[in-house]
Amino acid sequence: MPPTSSSIIGIDASRAVSAAPTGTEAYSTHLIRALRPRLASTHTLRLYYREMPPFALDTPVSGPQTARSEAAVETRVIPFPRLWTHLRLSWEIVRHPPDLLFVPAHVLPVVRPRRTLVTVHDLGYRRFPEAYPASQRRYLELSTRWNVRVATHILADSEATRDAVIEAYDVPAQKLTVVYPGYEPDLKPVRDRNEIERVHRRYSIPGDYVLFIGRIQPRKNLTRLIEAFSRVLADHPNLTLVLAGPTGWLGDPIQAGATTLGVADKVIFPGYVAPEDKAALISGARLFAYPSLYEGFGFPVLEAQACGTPLLTSTTSSLPEVTGEGGLLVDPLNVEAIADGLRRLLDDQARGGRLCARLVTQGFENLARFSWDIAARQVQTVITALLEP
């Protein structure tokens, strides 16, 4: 018997309020936007916020529209200074319980409805514990263990993440469903040289460059990338390495490493990249380097492919799964392997770019596997099954 339209689906939207989103925040924002018209057409959708969001989640990224009244969507702003999830959200659920609670980017509350769905994004804190502060590592271990134990069902961003969860926490395989995230559909190749030069000026980038975008932290393997880059400078002296993104834990020693290697004048740390600048910044790069040690998914891989920029990434975790045939894969623990990969792509461009052109073409083809509409349709299927009596 199918669920009735009276079902109330609660979603923790507390991570979908950042004006400068990264990883899981972007996942939460885009997925809720894509889910909203689908779920609100047959159910009542209740979005829980810790604070008033700076933007609306009304407009879906893609997918079908609905003529159903906005009365089918409830916004609950429930501010609270500390322990928002376990105290304030739990109390809200006690007073007004939904039929199902979906937590896309956080932890399930202590008090929750009988049916719950949660996304586990990665287990990097287990694979590379030295790349996390001890307090964050303990929190991630405890919160993930709690999520996988009490959730009715679990979404994983990739096959690699699903397998890691099963192995680490002895979770039955049937309790997990892999749902690939999408990517920002506005990301497309930018061919307007004026727009590319505008972004170069904004971020003080001179000439040709190799680009990385992500949080500046040990897990991203940037110390090895800087060393590998230093080894190719003899043949490419006019090249700059741009490491763009907010500085995370132990980010300062990574920046100091460029000075130690004597290439500080060749490595730029421009900080967070505004969304409106990302396509031009990626499109203007000679290549995109993402030799991360571990990723549960790896959004920057798809961003590089969407902008038509040759991609170098890692042979580890989910990265080969997400990259498909649209990138050059290297061992991220081997500095010379990273350097050889950089040389191969740069030298190929000097010889006509057949390899790079093939990787870019296969990257565009790979993108067909990923969209927020596909993800929303798959999540909707899971939710519908969970709501069945």
* DSSP H or E segment with residue 243: strand 240-244
160, 296 in Cβ contact below 8 A?
yes
On whether both 258 and 147 belong to a single domain, the answer is no
Can you tell me the distance from the alpha carbon of 147 to that of 229, in angstroms, rounded to the nearest whole number? 40
Question: Taking the model in full, what pTM does it have?
Answer: 0.91
Q: Are residues 226 and 312 in the same domain?
A: yes
Q: Classify residue 375: in a domain, yes or no.
A: yes
DSSP state at residue 152: S
- Assign 54 to helix, strand or coil: coil
Same domain, 124 and 224: no
pLDDT (0 to 100) of residue 389: 82
330/317 Cα distance (integer angstroms): 12
- The closest alpha carbon to 186, from 280, 257, 270, belongs to 280
Helix, strand, coil abundance in the chain, percent, nearest 5: 45, 15, 40
Give yes or no: residues 131 and 237 share one domain: no
Token output for 223: 């110390």
Residue 29: per-residue pLDDT: 92
Residues 341 and 310: beta-carbon distance below 8 Å? no
361-380, pLDDT tens digit by residue?
999 999 999 999 999 999 99
Distance separating alpha carbons of residues 133 and 125, to the nearest angstrom: 9
Do 171 and 199 have their domain in common?
no
Distances (CA, A) of 50 to 34, 53, 91, 103, 236: 21, 9, 13, 14, 49
Helical residues (DSSP H) of 171-250, grouped into ranges: 193-202, 222-232
Same domain, 141 and 276: no
The residues with which 165 forms a beta bridge, in sequence order, are none
Residue 165 sits in the same domain as residue 239: no
SS3 320: helix
- Cβ-count burial of 98 within 10 angstroms (0-12 exposed, 13-18 middle, 19+ buried)? buried
User: Cβ distance 76 to 44 under 8 Å?
Assistant: no
Q: What is the pLDDT of residue 3?
A: 45
Residues of the domain holding 34: 8-182+371-387
Within-domain flag for 112: yes
pLDDT digits (tens, 9 = 90+) for 302-321: 999 999 999 999 999 999 99
26 found inside a domain = yes
- Tell me which long-range contacts 166-174 makes (C-beta under 8 A, separation of at least 24): 168/123, 168/126, 169/144, 169/145
Quote the number of domains for the chain.
Answer: 2
Let me know if residue 267 belongs to a domain: yes
By the 8 A CB rule, do 61 and 16 touch?
no
Cα(241)–Cα(289) distance, integer angstroms: 9
CATH of residue 65's domain is: 3.40.50.2000
| Beta-sheet strands, E only, within 52-91 | 73-77
Give whole-number Cα distances, 358 to 22, 261, 303, in Å: 29, 33, 17
Judge if 218 and 360 occupy the same domain.
yes
Strand order in the sheet with 153-156: 73-77, 44-49, 8-12, 100-103, 115-120, 153-156, 176-178
273 and 165 in one domain? no
Query: Within a domain: residue 314?
Result: yes
Residues 253, 312 within the same domain: yes
Q: Do residues 205 and 167 share a domain?
A: no
d(CA 211, CA 287): 6
Q: Please state, in angstroms and as integers, the Cα–Cα distance from residue 17 to each residue in 305, 369, 373, following that order.
A: 27, 27, 20
Q: Give the three-state DSSP class for 311.
A: strand
Question: Is 1 within the bounds of a domain?
Answer: no
Decide if 61 is inside a domain: yes
For 104-239, where are the E strands, in sequence order?
Answer: 115-120, 153-156, 176-178, 209-213
Burial (0-12, 13-18, 19+ Cβ within 10 Å), 287: buried
Residues of the chain with pLDDT under 50: 1-4, 59-70
Q: Residue 317's closest CA among 185, 209, 158, 199?
A: 158
pLDDT recorded at residue 2: 45
- Are both 130 and 83 inside the same structural domain? yes
Does any domain span residue 136?
yes
Contacts of residues 151-154 at CB distance under 8 Å and 24 or more positions apart, as own/partner, are 151/108, 151/116, 151/117, 151/118, 151/175, 152/114, 152/115, 152/116, 152/117, 152/386, 153/116, 153/117, 153/118, 153/177, 153/382, 153/386, 154/117, 154/118, 154/119, 154/120
